Structure 1
Amino acid sequence: MHSLGEEIKGFSKNKLRKQCTRVTTLSGKRIIETWKDSMVHTVDDPDQTDGAGCGYVQDLSVDLQVGVIKPWLLLGSQDVAQDLHVLKKYKVTHILNVAYGVENVFPNEFTYKKISILDLPETDIASFFPECFGFIEQAEMQEGVVLVHCNAGVSRAPALIIGFLMHKDKLSFARAFSLVKNSRPAICPNPGFIEQLHKYQDYLRKQTAVVHEKTD
């Protein structure tokens, strides 16, 4: 498992600039999430066909849509994590912050776990599963409510929750993805994360087959 510092060194600035995720919001507006100077930037999509063009305008709209995966498991953006009113409304007690460059805002109000993960297809997000799943399960055991968030709540956080549902509830990738998508329609994990989740599904199925062989 590589450290975050090693991951960052492994990518050129050009590669970081090229990485982007197109998102269609609940209102139908199209935006682009892109990396620049190791920070994520959300901008309006200037071209509704292929995204080419220039003259980006920063999108300053606030995304407070909360995906309720389970009564005690929530998915959202950094905006949700920074809005105390919304957090209190959903009775949040634990916050898993997997954003890059986003600090924990209310350290005296909630139990936090912060893991900076880059939203790049090459990022080994599966290597973070044990630590993240452990924190989510801790919140459940303490009868709390956990919010999982990244920057836009579109790629990293949903990928982790999809993996968690596959691990915890023994769901297939398709079923877990559908559940999360229905709860927060804007999700769109990058292609690398999708590929890793498919491999994780294969791994879980092999593990289950081994257990069945031992009990037969």
Structure 2
Amino acid sequence: MQTVQEMSADEKQQLIQGPGDEWTYEMRRQCQEILPGLYLGPLQVSKSLETLQSYGVTHILCIRDAQEAFSVRPRFPDHFQYMTLDVRDNEDQNLIKLFPQAKEFIDQARLAGGRALVHCNGGISLSPSFVVMYVMQEVGLSWEDALHMVQNRRYCISPNGGFLTQLKEYESIYKAHIAVQGFPQQQQRAVSRRKREEDDDADELREQELQERKRAYTENANGDDSDDNAMQT
């Protein structure tokens, strides 16, 4: 998928705004496609084998509070690949620490041509926060644009205040990571550029020295001819 750096301003705006489907209350019980191969929804969707198969789901990321383990759990392990994360839905819960394994799981599904469903109990706070972080990094959006992009597809999401703060923090983290990844290439290009400049300078110096030697040889040769002519006279 294109990153925002590869998009025009209109394409970026269209991506964030989404399809613009009319939202109804019943849709909060369904899942919505956020990116190709990435769905977000509530527990109800994960309980229906027929529904999951109709969406072509292959991987399910089940995010739950430990107290919900009796209901929010893998239900069809013979049909789908699961990952379960126990996450407290309170403002002190560290999402950033848990996100890398969630991202890896979603990436595995999408890279294999599959489809991942990310869900929690209500699909309101926990699972949307992880999906916003994924969209932010995958597409290269600010935390606000990523939040709006997910919200424009699943209108009922509402991450708690602590999660919103972490979304802001994660924007700086993922951008710094990208900058660090790009630094060796930038450094290598700078070294190569300096080497070319040094080689050019060395070539120019050698050419100057060669011209000086030619000039000196010519002057010496002309001087010898003058002396011979003087002797003949």
Q: TM-score, normalised by structure 2?
A: 0.63
Which residue of 2 is the match for residue 69 of structure 1?
34
User: Shift of the alpha carbon at 1:88?
Assistant: 1.2
SS in 2 for 1:95: strand
Distance in 2, Cα, partners of 1:181 & 1:154: 10
Unaligned runs of 5+ in 1: 1-25, 29-60
CA shift, 1:153, in A, is 0.3
Pick closer, same or farther for the CA change 1:207–1:78 going to 2, 3 Å.
same
Q: Which residue of 1 aligns with 2:140?
A: 170
Contact 1:63 1:80 in 2 (8 A): no
CA contact (8 A) 2:56 2:115 kept: yes
CA shift for structure 1 position 192:
0.4
- Give unpaired runs (5+ residues) of structure 2: 1-22, 191-233
* Structure-1 separation of matches of 2:27 and 2:131: 22
**Structure-1 separation of matches of 2:172 and 2:149:** 19
* Cα displacement (A) at 1:179: 1.2
Higher RCO structure, 1 or 2 (CA under 8 Å, sep 6+): 2
Confirm whether residue 114 of structure 1 aligns to residue 79 of structure 2: no
- 2:13 aligned residue: none
1:89-168 alignment to 2 at 5 Å?
89-100=54-65, 101=69, 102-168=72-138
Contact residue 45 and residue 51 of structure 2 kept, 8 A: yes
CA contact (8 A) 1:97 1:114 kept: yes
Structure 2: how far apart are the matches of 1:201 and 1:144? Answer: 27
Q: How many residues align?
A: 159
The structure 1 residue matched to 2:50, chosen from 53, 77, 85, is: 85
Give SS of 1:168's match.
helix
Q: What RMSD, in angstroms, separates the aligned Cα atoms of the two structures?
A: 1.9
Larger displacement relative to structure 2 (145-154 or 96-105):
96-105
In 2 relative to 1, CA 212–107 (structure 1 residues): closer, same or farther, beyond 3 Å?
closer
Q: TM-score, normalised by structure 1?
A: 0.68
Partner Cα separation in structure 1 for residue 177 and residue 36 of structure 2? 29
Q: In the TM superposition, what is the alpha-carbon distance from 1:145 to its structure 2 partner?
A: 0.5
CA deviation profile, 1:133-174 (whole Å, cap 9, x unmatched): 000001012110100000100111111011111222221112
Task: Please state how far the C-alpha of 1:205 moved relative to its aligned partner.
Answer: 2.7
Q: CA deviation at 1:190?
A: 0.7
Give a deviation string over 1:8-66, Cα, whole Å, max 9, x none. Answer: xxxxxxxxxxxxxxxxxx546xxxxxxxxxxxxxxxxxxxxxxxxxxxxxxxx895321
The partner residue of 1:199 within 146, 160, 169 is 169
Q: Which structure shows the higher strand fraction? A: 1
**How far did residue 68 of structure 1 move?**
0.7
- In the alignment, the residues of structure 1 paired with residue 121 and residue 183 of structure 2 have an alpha-carbon distance, to the nearest angstrom, of 43
- Structure number with bigger Rg: 2
Are 1:65 and 1:184, in contact at CA under 8 Å, matched by a contact in 2?
Answer: no
